[in-house]
Structure 1
Amino acid sequence: MTPFEELLKIMQTLREKCPWDSKQTHQSLKKYMIEEAYELLDAIDSRDDQKLKEELGDVLLQVIFHSQIAKERGAFDVWEVIETLNEKLVKRHPHVFGAESAQEALSKWEENKAKERESVLDGVPKSLPALMRSQKLQDRASLVGFDFESIEQVFEKIEEEMKELKDAIKGGNTKEIKHELGDVLTAVVELARFLKVDAEECLQEANNRFERRFRFLERRAKELGKDLKSMTLQEMDLIWMESKRFDYDNPQAY
């Protein structure tokens, strides 16, 4: 028995005998697939090969789990998943498995996908993180010319949406505030598109910076024998500025 076949056998046994595994469904497992995917991303960023190996295994487990449930339903099994993937890879790479050039293959692939869609927005998952989904939706819309013509227009749009948000805040209507704040975020994602950067990645990096600097603030306050709750904002801001300098001087410290 190969390791892969052994894995399938273990999964089948767990479905038959484990009280928790036997109760799971495609729906109940959704959150675990998302969690494992994000843990895999953390492993990639950590550059820890042992961690990467473990997290790839956890993602693979989710694929096996869903395939086993589908097999029990009589829908398909993991071998059919692999066969479908093989066919898709060959079909999508005629420049490798055929005589077409890479550019010809890409153009044909986009044409075929466009024919399959009722809308250019089809195929963008609703479960994607909001920033990522926004950028993908805007990318798709731009394929048919629904796009700004210059970055100046994008900045004008951001200013317009900011004004509408300020007006909504003055009005005090929570529903309108959420609506306008969403429009501001959408316009900022549009700016990311024009700058050819990934909005989701930008915010994740900003989150990481914030976490590093706030932890620095906590440590420094503790060294000074102070409690953050008793410190003034001005005192905390001085340490915050110190944390930014530490960040710049020690990019590999974290």
Structure 2
Amino acid sequence: MDKRYTLEDLVEIIKRLRGEGGCPWDRVQTHASLREAMLEEAYEAVDAIDRKDTENLKEELGDVLLQVVFHAALEEDEGSFAIEDVIAGICKKMVYRHPHVFGDTKADTADEVLVNWEQLKKKEKHITTQSQAIKEIPMALPALLRARKVQKKAAEVGFDFPDARRAMEKVREEINELTEAIEGSLGTEEEEFGDFLFAVVNISRFFKINPEIALTKATKKFINRFEYVENSALSEGRKLSEMTLEEMDLLWDEAKAKSLSGQNPNN
């Protein structure tokens, strides 16, 4: 029977890897050097969730946990805090932010819970203005998600478009400004393109669409259709680099037609 390891075992393994006679790579790591790994492991866990791959999710959650324990170990070496403090902190936070379970606050719906959560979060972080709440949104978030969160925070105090139609008009306005910047070589193309993307994210909120997920699906669809175009060309003994754009567009239209008719389950 396989040994049943515990969180304490993982903590001890990391300590040994970082101790005298341990692993040269583990011993030189810092928060900064592990930053990308933290992001990658979180994304890989999300990917397993999206694919409904339970076995892979178990593995990826382990990788995420490793990152948490490793970062805590770095701080323990500096005498700042240990993994026990991390656990204590999140336990206290969960109890504090769930007074409807651990206290006498009333919250019968998920929406009421979220309202209470945000109020308690502001109190906990001493946030007194909505600008402060917006600035609390992490810079490291993917840009589309951060834009959505910023817009949502602004909307909480009524700073928002009245409806989706007005949000669509704003997108058209931004397209015109981007076109003017490009055609006039004004040097503001990047800024106007950013404004355009920000306006598009506004539309996603009105239709409760996660822009990050929507773009991920669109990218996947593009890859699948591009693969169809290339495979079709190869089946005729041709390379894409040898074809005209018009010829590739015809194959693209075939791929799109097959997708819409359900012949291509991967879209």
Give the TM-score normalised by structure 2: 0.89
Work out whether 1:33 is the aligned partner of 2:35: no
Q: Decide whether the 8 Å contact of 1:94 with 1:105 is kept in 2.
A: no
Give the aligned partner of residue 199 of structure 2. 187
Aligned runs of 1:61-72 on 2, under 5 Å?
61-72=66-77
Q: Name the aligned partner's letter for residue 5 of structure 1.
A: E
SS in 1 for 2:74: helix
1:111 maps to: 119
- C-alpha separation between the residues in 2 aligned to 1:27 and 1:105? 35
Distance 1:51 1:247 in 2: 29
Q: Post-superposition shift, 1:120?
A: 2.7
Q: Does structure 1 retain, via aligned residues, the 8 Å contact 2:98–2:117?
A: no
- Aligned partner of 1:206 among 218, 236, 241: 218
Residues in 2 aligned to 1:44 and 1:4: alpha-carbon distance in whole angstroms: 23
Q: Does the C-alpha gap of structure 1 residues 68 and 41 become closer, same or farther in structure 2, counting only changes over 3 Å? A: same
User: Relative to structure 1, is the Cα distance of residues 3 and 251 closer, same or farther in structure 2, using a 3 angstrom cutoff?
Assistant: farther
2:12 equivalent in structure 1: 9
Alignment: residue pair count: 253
- In 1, the alpha carbon distance for the partners of 2:208 and 2:266 equals 28
Q: Establish whether residue 178 from structure 1 lines up as the match of residue 190 from structure 2.
A: yes
Measured in 2, the distance between the counterparts of 1:251 and 1:82 equals: 47
How many angstroms apart in 1 are the aligned matches of 2:263 and 2:194?
36
Q: What amino acid is the match of 1:132?
A: L
More deviation in 85-94 or 95-104?
95-104
Match of 1:235 in 2: 247
AA partner of residue 171 (structure 1): G
Mean CA deviation greater in 236-245 or 35-44: 236-245
Indicate the larger mover: 102-111 or 212-221: 102-111
Does residue 159 in structure 1 map to residue 172 in structure 2? yes
CA 1:105–1:224 in structure 2 vs 1: closer, same or farther (change >3 Å)?
A: closer
Q: Which amino acid aligns with 1:126?
A: M
State the shift of 1:155 in Å.
1.5
1:71 CA drift (Å): 0.6
Instruction: Write the letter of the residue equivalent to 1:11.
Output: I
CA contact (8 A) 2:221 2:266 kept: no
Distance 1:56 1:245 in 2: 39
The ranges of structure 1 where at least 4 consecutive aligned residues each deviate by more than 6 angstroms after the TM superposition are none
In structure 1, the gaps of 5 or more residues are none
The code of the aligned residue for 1:180 comes to: E
Task: After TM superposition, give the deviation of residue 76 of structure 1 in Å.
Answer: 0.8
Q: How far is the alpha carbon of 1:143 from its aligned partner?
A: 1.2
Instruction: Work out whether 1:58 is the aligned partner of 2:63.
Output: yes
**Partner amino acid for 1:33?**
M
CA contact (8 A) 1:26 1:66 kept: yes
Q: Distance in 2 between matches of 1:3 and 1:106?
A: 33
Decide which moves more: 86-95 or 111-120: 111-120
- Tell me, yes or no, if the aligned pair for 1:168 and 1:177 is still in contact at 8 Å: yes
Instruction: Summarize deviations over 1:109-138 as a string: whole Å, max 9, x none.
Output: 322333422523132000111100000000
1:130 aligns with 2:143: yes
Secondary structure of residue in 2 paired with 1:39: helix
Q: 1:145 aligns with which of 137, 145, 158?
A: 158
Higher normalized helix content (fraction of residues)? 1
Comparing 133-142 with 208-217, which one deviates more in the overlay?
Answer: 208-217
What percent of counterpart residues are identical? 44
In the TM superposition, what whole-angstrom CA distance separates every residue of 1:66-125 from its partner, at most 9, and x where no partner exists? 010011111111111111111111111122222322256544432233342252313200
Q: Rate the CA distance shift 1:234–1:124 in 2: closer, same or farther, 3 A.
A: same
In structure 2, C-alpha distance between the alignment counterparts of 1:253 and 1:197, rounded to whole Å: 20
Give the 5 Å matches for 1:87-106. 87-102=92-107, 106=114
Q: What is the deviation of 1:233?
A: 1.4
Give unmatched runs, 5+ long, in structure 2.
none
